[in-house]
Chains A and B, each alone.
Chain A
């Protein structure tokens, strides 16, 4: 009985003009706009990364940081309103309330030659202030890749929806669109997983930098989420379904 009611309402909903209007005008256009917007964001990110950005690693209250976060030799800077606790080898904040740690310049046991061990600050933000463009690029690469992947997939879905609307759902092109999106998502997932194993801090900083959320812990497994794997698989499974649909459609078209 419940199912009948549900079917009745879903049928009613499907026939509602407003829903049709929304799907027609908004869903496809919105996806295309979103795709364009995120492509633009991706390019801006790249430019920003290479020329301007000072992404933060940690912000908020009662933060600590350790060796693992500096292993790739990114010079960092701590901005804070007043003097806080520091361990040895980390300079005190200057008169402007900015503590500077340039790991590249010091000689020491780490890969980058820094002698910094651990640090702590109560309030403030830890920034990455490298002037090396390559490092900036590497730092933001995961975010850029994710944005570009999203824009590509969104575009593919938009085009697919428009073909479905035109009544040509099961075509070779649509099948390819889904397959392309699926493999791209899986490829990026794989790449970022490997990338973040080798460049743990880079990957870790990136997303938090642009999402603007508070960061308390930095681990690579927060970055490439498992849902990417699931999404990629769903796209590929969908493409298989579309392939079957294409065969059935062809058979239907050639039935007299």
Chain B
């Protein structure tokens, strides 16, 4: 799916670890990993809301649309 989740970028900007985010947002590490690795098929609005609240950002900062070519390149690299 050519929607990329830029969670690691936002985490780096906020200097926050995945574990800390998991604790503060209240979702499991397993689910966060699914989100981070791009395997997720859907994101609940409630989850998105919590992540945005903790990371003080907009949904657009976390999600990005890429065309197929760019996406394949990204995944390939």
Chain A 235-256, CB within 8 Å of chain B: the 1/0 string?
0000000000000001100111
B5 and chain A: residue at smallest CB distance = A256
Chain A residues with CB below 8 A from B14, complex form: none
B46 to chain A, nearest CB (A): 10
Chain B residues with CB below 8 A from A256, complex form: 27, 31-32, 34-35, 40, 42-44, 47
Q: How many residues of chain A have a CB within 8 Å of chain B?
A: 5
Q: Are A254 and B39 in contact (CB under 8 A)?
A: yes
A120 to B17, CA, bound (A): 93
Chain B residues with CB below 8 A from A251, complex form: 41-42
Chain A residues with CB below 8 A from B32, complex form: 256
Chain B residues with CB below 8 A from A254, complex form: 34, 39-42
A45 to chain B, nearest CB (A): 51
A70 to B6, CA, bound (A): 81
Chain A 195-220, CB within 8 Å of chain B: the 1/0 string?
00000000000000000000000000
B23 to chain A, nearest CB (A): 16
A250 to B40, CA, bound (A): 10
Chain B residues with CB below 8 A from A250, complex form: 41
A251 to B41, CA, bound (A): 6
Chain A residues with CB below 8 A from B27, complex form: 256
Chain A residues with CB below 8 A from B41, complex form: 250-251, 254-255
Chain A residues with CB below 8 A from B31, complex form: 256
Q: Are A255 and B39 in contact (CB under 8 A)?
A: no
B2 to chain A, nearest CB (A): 16
Chain B 27-54, CB within 8 Å of chain A: the 1/0 string?
1000110110001111110010000000
A256 to B34, CA, bound (A): 8
A250 to B34, CA, bound (A): 13
Chain A 85-110, CB within 8 Å of chain B: the 1/0 string?
00000000000000000000000000
B51 and chain A: residue at smallest CB distance = A256
A-B contact pairs, 12 of them (CB 8 A): A251-B41, A254-B34, A254-B39, A254-B40, A254-B42, A255-B40, A255-B43, A256-B31, A256-B34, A256-B43, A256-B44, A256-B47
13 additional contacts (CB under 8 A) given A254-B34, A255-B41, A256-B43: A250-B41, A251-B41, A251-B42, A254-B39, A254-B40, A254-B41, A254-B42, A255-B42, A255-B43, A255-B44, A256-B35, A256-B44, A256-B47
